[in-house]
Structure 1
Amino acid sequence: MTTRVPVLISGGGIAGLTAALVLRREGGYPVLVEKHAGVSPQPKARRFNPRSTEVFRLLGLAAEVAEASAPLASFTEVLVGPTLAAARVREMTGTMRERRKQQARIPELSPGPNVLCPQVVLEPILRRAATERGVSVRLGTELVSFTQDDDGVTALLKPPDGEPYELAADYLIAADGARSPVRTALGIERSGHGHLADNLDLYFRADLTELVRERPFNLCEIDNPVASGAFLSVNGTDRWLFSTADFPEAHTLGDGDWHDLLRIVIGIPDLDVELLSRSPWESAMRVADRFRQGRVFLVGDAAHMMPPMAAAGANTAIADAANLAWKLAAALAGRAAPTLLDTYHAERHPAGYAIAEASSTVRGHVGDMLAAFTKPDNRHDDLPATMFGTQYAEGAFVPDGRGPAPVGHYAPAGRPGTRVPHAWLDATTSTVDFAGPGLTLLTGPDDERWITEASDLGLRLVKVSHQDWLAEVCLPPDGALLLRPDAIVAWHSASATPLAEALSRVLGTKVASVQPQ
C-alpha cells in the first residue's frame, strides 16, 4: 500500500527547507527528499537580506543564524585592484554614497539584520531544525518520476540504498533547482532575457588572514590580464571564492594550473593554495511561465533563475516558500479553500519576474557586474523600497481603496498586499513578530470592538499602542489590520469590507462570526 503524506518537497536547499519549516510552524507535516547526501561543493548564496532573516526570526532561528554569520560580520568593504594583495578600498562614488545612506536606514525598518552567511553554512542549520521539528528529511533520495490527478500526486522515489518506492502526497513542491526535473516534466516554459554570460567559480583554501586583516571585504573586483573577476569572502580566513569568466580551455587545466592562476590574481607567488572545487555556471534570466500546475508548485530557482549581483536569488526563494507554505497548511487543515493556492502564482510570479529582470540589468561575470554596479552614473532604485516594498496587485488580500503605494520610496502605510511595517514594541518584540502561526488581528489600543469578533473568527488578537507605528499604518485607535503568516497585510479596517467578509475572501471559503446564543 502506498503511503500518503500531505506535502512532498523535492529539493533540500534553501527554498525546500524554508518551505518545510514554515509548513511545520503552520501545523503541516511535510516529507522532504534531496538527491544529494552531503553539502554542496560550492558556498553558493551568501547574502541574506532582512526580509529573509525576518523569516528565520519567525522560525525561531535568529540566534543560530547570527552566530553562523558572525565570522563575516565585519566583511563589508568593496575593494578593487589588479590583485587581491594590491587591492584598495574602492573610491566612493555618488552612487555608492547614496547606496550607503540607504543601507544605513535598513535597521530602522526591520528586526532582521542583513547577513553574510554562505549557503553551505546556513543549510545545515535549517536541515537540523527541520529534522528536530518533525519534518521527514530523506537525504540521498531522488524523485525519479511523478504523476498527478485531481486527488493528489504519486511520486517514485529512489533511496540511497534499496529499491525505489512510491509515495503519495496531496501536493508537491518543486524546489529542485534551475534545471528542475519537475518543471521539465510538467512542460512549463520559461520567459526572460535567457543566457547572459558563462562564468566559472573557483572555491579554494588559502590562509589570507593577515592579507585581509585591515581590509575585510565582501567583494574585491580584480582587473588582471590573466583573469579578471571578483573575490568573495566565504569564512574570512581560509575559504574564498574567485569568480571569473568561463573560457573554452578551462577543462584542459590541471590543479597546478589553477593554483598558479590563483596565486597570480591573489598576488602572492609562493602562497599555499588548494583548489576545493571548480564550478562552471551560467548567468541567465529565465522565469517559469506558471508557478503552479495542478497540485505541483515551483519555488526558488525552479521558478526563477537570475544573475547573482543583486544577491536576490536565494532571498526571492525564501519569500516564495514563506508565501506558499502557509497557504498549503491552511488548505490542508480545512481553514481555507483550495482556491487560496491559486494566489501563490498570482502574487509570486509578477514579483519573481520583476526581481529577476532587475537583477539582469548588468551582464557578464561577477567582476563586470561589480564594476557596473558601482560606476558613478549607475542609478538604483530606493533600497528600502526594493527590499521591503513588494506590493502584490492581486492575491490573498482585500484592497482598501487607497491605490498603490509609492514606488520611489518606502511608504506602504499598512496597505493590503504589502509587508507590515516594523516597529519595536519593547526591547525584543517587533510588530513583524506577530506574523503567524495563522492569521493575526493587530488592533489599535481601543480594541473592544474587535475582541469578540476575533475570538469568534478564530483569530489571535494583538493590541498595539505604539503611536508612531499606528500613524505609519494609518490606523485610528480603534482600527485593525489582518496579518498573514508571511507578514503581508491581508485587510485594513479602512476598507468598506467587514472583517468576516474579508476573511472569507482571503481564505476563499465562507467564514462567519459565531453569534452568541
Structure 2
Amino acid sequence: MVTTDVVVVGSGPAGASMALALARLGVDHIVVTRYETLAAEPRAHITNQRTMEVLRDLGVAEQVEALATPQDLIGTTTFCESLAGEELGRVRSWGTDPRSRAAHRLASPAGICDMPQSLMEPILVQGAQAAGSRIRFSTEYLSHAVDDDGVTVTVRDRLRGDEYEIRAKYLYGADGGRSRVAENAGLPMRGEMGVAGSLNIVFRADLSPWVAHRPSVLYWVLQPGSDIGGIGMGVVRMVRPWNEWLTIWGYDVADGPPDLSEEFTTGLVRQLVGVEDLEVEIVGSSAWTVNHMAAEHYGSGRVFCGGDAVHRHPPSNGLGSNTSIQDSFNLAWKLAYVLRGWADPSLLDTYSAERAPIGRQVVDRANRSIGETGRIFDALGLSDTTDAAVMRENMARRREPGAEKQRRALREAIAFKAYEFDAHGVELNQRYVSSAVAADTVAADPLATVEDPELSYVATTTPGARVPHVWLAGRDGDVSTIDLAGHGRFTLFTGPGGTVWPSTEWLRVIVVGPGQDLEDPYGDWARLLEAEGIGDAGGVLVRPDHHVAARFATVPDDPAEVFAALTGEQ
C-alpha cells in the first residue's frame, strides 16, 4: 500500500496551490488527478492582490508576473453593442481608476494581473514538483474510508485500469464543482446548481483594430438574447493580447445548450465582434452552468475540501481561483503544524470556521453581480432583448437632445459595476473568527466605520484581519510587512521595548525601530500601531497565512501560552 501524510485530489488552482504549499512546508503528500494533462482552457484569469501575496510567499510570483497580462492592459472594461459597433460606456476596473490605484498601492506590495488558468496551473504544479510533490496524472479518486488513525483512499489508474489504495493521515478534495470527495464526505451544501446556462468559445483572431484604444480583459456586449442565461451580457474576453480570446454567451438552461458546431461558434464570435467576415480560428468550445452553492462546512473528520468543491459560483468579480488558492493557503500550514506535533488536531477545525463564511460571501457576491447588470438594461428601457430594432432604437435615443435622464441612468448603471470589477474590500477585508484568532480588547475593528466595506479596504491589526502592508527599511532595501510574515512561521512585529520575546522554531520576532535591523523611516507602521493602541513593548502576532492571530498593548507574561491557546496545545 502506498503511504503518505496528505492525499490531494485535483490539480486545479486549489489542488496545485495546496501541493506547492505543502511541499514548501516539507509535508509528504501525493496529488492525484483523473486528467492526463493540466487545464487546456483559460477559464479563471483575474489574479488579485491577495493571491499575488500568497504566490510571493510560495515563491512563484515572479514567474506568474512574467507571463501574465499586466494591470495597465486589463482595466478599461467596456460596454458596447459589439466590439466594432457603438460603445455605451466604460468603467475603470481592477485598480486602474486613479483613486483606486492609489488605494491598491497603499494596500499591498503586489499588483493585480491577468493570468489564464492554462498558464497558472503549470507554474504551480512545476513549483510543487520541484519542491518534492508526487503528482499522479490519469489517477482517478474513487472513494475513501476514515478511521481513528487516518484515511484510506481508493484510486484507479486510468492507464493500467487497476485500482489501489493510498494510506494517509488527511485527505484534501480539490476536485471541482462536482466534487466526489465532498459528496462522499457528506459535506452539507446550501444553494442551487444550474441556475443559468453559459457557453465558452475560445478563438484566435486579431482584434487589435477594435481594442487598441481601450485595452481591457473584458468587453461586454448588449445584443438580442444577451440577457438570457449567462452572466448578465455577452462577453468578449481577452486571453492573450490581442489575438487569443474567449466569448461567453448565455442559453436557456431549460432548453439545454445549442449544438456547438464550427458554423455556430464562428457565427457567434463574428456577431459579438461585429465584423461579418472576421477571420476566426475556433480553438475550442464548451457549455457550463452558473451555480449558486456553497458548503456550510469544509471538513469532516480527517477530510477537507477547498476551491470549487465547496464554493460554486459564476466568474463574476474574478474571485474563483483567487478564493481557491487562498483556501489552500489557510489550511496548508495548519496541516503542517498538526503533523509536526506543534498543534493539536483541533486547529484543523478552524479551517472551516474561517473559510466557509468567505466562500458564502464570494458565492453571493458573484451571483449578485450578474443581477446588477440588469441596471444597464433598465437604463436603456429594455424589459427584454428579443427585438433588435427596439434595442437599437432605445440605445440611439440616448444621443438625442433632452435625453439627459437616460444618459445619467446609463452612466450610473455602468459606474455601479465597480462592485464587480473593483471590489477592493471584498478581496482584502476578510476577517477570520475562530479559536486560532485571539479575542481582542485593544481597539475596535475600524471596518465597522467604513462607508462601503465591499469597495474600500481598511488596514488594521485587528485579530483575524490580514496584516497591513507597510514598507520597512532593511539592510538590503525596503521590504513589506506582508513579505516578512508567512513562510511557514508565526511572526511577531514588536518595538524596541518588546525585545524580551524569544524567537523559536515556530516564531520569528521582528523588532522595528531606530537602530534595529528593520526601521520605520516614514513612520507609517508607528502611526498605525499608535492609532490602534499598541505600545512600544506591545506587538502584532501574525500567523503563517499573513492573518493577525493576536495583538498586545504590552508584552504578555508568557508568550508560549499565547501560542498554545491559538494552536490548541495544552
Give the structure-1-normalised TM-score.
Answer: 0.90
Kindly tell me: are residues 202 and 158 of structure 1, through their superposed partners in 2, closer, same or farther at Cα, counting changes over 3 Å?
same
Partners of 1:265 and 1:412 in 2: CA distance: 41
Q: Tell me how far 1:70 sits from its aligned partner.
A: 3.6
Cα shift at 1:169 = 0.6
Q: For residue 255 of structure 1, report the CA deviation from its aligned partner.
A: 0.8
Give 1:274 deviation, angstroms: 2.0
1:52 counterpart = 2:51: yes
**Kept in 2: contact 1:6–1:30 (CA 8 A):** yes
Aligned to 1:432: 482
- Of 339, 346, 368 in structure 2, the residue corresponding to residue 339 of structure 1 is 346
Letter paired with 1:234: V
1:386 is matched with which residue? 426
Q: Equivalents in 2 of 1:477, 1:269: separation in Å?
A: 69
Give the direction of change, closer, same or farther, for the CA distance of 1:238–1:110 in structure 2 (3 Å limit): same
The question of whether the paired residues in 2 share the 8 Å contact of 1:398 and 1:490 is answered with: yes
Q: Secondary structure at the match of 2:549?
A: strand
Conservation of the 8 A alpha-carbon contact between 1:174 and 1:297: yes
Quote the residue 1:115 is aligned against. 113
2:503 to 454, 458, 477: 454
Q: Distance in 2 between matches of 1:376 and 1:75?
A: 17
1:27-426 to 2 correspondences below 5 Å: 27-70=26-69, 73-86=72-85, 88=87, 90-91=89-90, 101-162=99-160, 163-192=162-191, 195-225=194-224, 229-247=234-252, 248=255, 250-363=257-370, 374-376=413-415, 380=419, 383-401=423-441, 402-407=443-448, 408=450, 410-426=457-473
CA deviation string 1:389-436 (max 9, x = no partner): 211222312122234442425445312111100011244521011223
CA distance in 2, matches of 1:378, 1:506: 40
**Deviation of 1:48 (Å):** 0.9
- Distance 1:87-1:322 versus aligned 2 partners, 3 A rule: farther
Deviation at 1:220, TM superposition (A): 0.8
Choose 57-66 or 155-164, whichever is displaced more: 155-164
Q: 1:464 aligns with which of 512, 522, 535?
A: 512
Q: Which deviates more, 219-228 or 130-139? A: 219-228
Q: Using the alignment, how far apart are the partners of 2:27 and 2:87 within structure 1?
A: 51
> Are residues 446 and 12 of structure 1, via their aligned partners in 2, closer, same or farther at CA, if it must alter by over 3 Å?
same
Between the two proteins, the alignment pairs up a number of residues equal to 504
Deviation at 1:210, TM superposition (A): 3.6
Unaligned residue ranges in structure 1 (runs of 5+): 511-517
Letter in 2 for 1:504: A
Partners of 2:541 and 2:480 in 1: CA distance: 16
Question: Alpha carbon RMSD of aligned pairs, Å?
Answer: 2.8
SS of the residue 1:217 aligns to: coil
- The one-character-per-residue Cα deviations of 1:304-343 (angstroms, maximum 9, x if unpaired) are 1122211112111111111100000000011111011011
SS of aligned partner of 1:287: strand
TM-score of the pair, normalised by structure 2? 0.82
C-alpha distance in structure 1 between counterparts of 2:415 and 2:472, whole Å: 40
Distance 1:66 1:480 in 2: 33
1: CA distance between counterparts of 2:11 and 2:94? 36
Query: Any idea what the Cα deviations from partners look like across 1:452-495, whole Å, max 9, x if unmatched?
Result: x334x752222223231133134322222221110011121238
**Percent identity of paired positions between Structure 1 and Structure 2:** 32
| C-alpha contact (below 8 Å) 2:76/2:90 kept by paired residues | no
Question: Structure 1 stretch 473-482 or stretch 247-256: which is displaced more?
Answer: 247-256
8 Å CA contact 1:51, 1:387 repeated in 2: yes
Structure 2 letter corresponding to 1:117: M
The aligned amino acid for 1:106 is: H
Asked if residue 492 in structure 1 is aligned to residue 492 in structure 2, the reply is: no
Choose 372-381 or 467-476, whichever is displaced more.
372-381
Structure 1 distance, partners of 2:25, 2:38, is: 27
Are the counterparts in 2 of residues 420 and 489 from structure 1 also a CA contact under 8 Å? yes
Output the amino acid matched with 1:486: D
1:41–1:277 Cα contact (<8 Å) kept: no
- What secondary structure does 2:496 align onto? coil
1:390 is paired with a residue whose SS is coil
Contact 1:400 1:494 in 2 (8 A): no
8 Å CA contact 1:442, 1:481 repeated in 2: yes
The answer to whether the 8 A contact 1:362-1:369 is kept is no
In structure 2, what is the equivalent of residue 514 of structure 1? none
Q: Which sections of structure 2, spanning at least 5 residues, go unmatched? A: 227-232, 379-411, 451-455, 514-519
Q: Which amino acid aligns with 1:340?
A: L
- The one-letter code of the counterpart of 1:131 is Q
Change (3 A) 1:281 1:103: farther
Contact 1:148 1:295 in 2 (8 A): yes
Task: Report the secondary structure of 1:207's partner residue.
Answer: coil
What one-letter code is carried by the residue in structure 1 that aligns with 2:494? T
Q: Distance in 1 between matches of 2:150 and 2:337?
A: 17
Closer, same or farther: CA 410–305 of 1 in aligned 2, 3 Å: same
Partner of 2:535: 476
Letter in structure 2 aligned against 1:204:
F
Match of residue 494, structure 2, among 423, 443, 447: 443
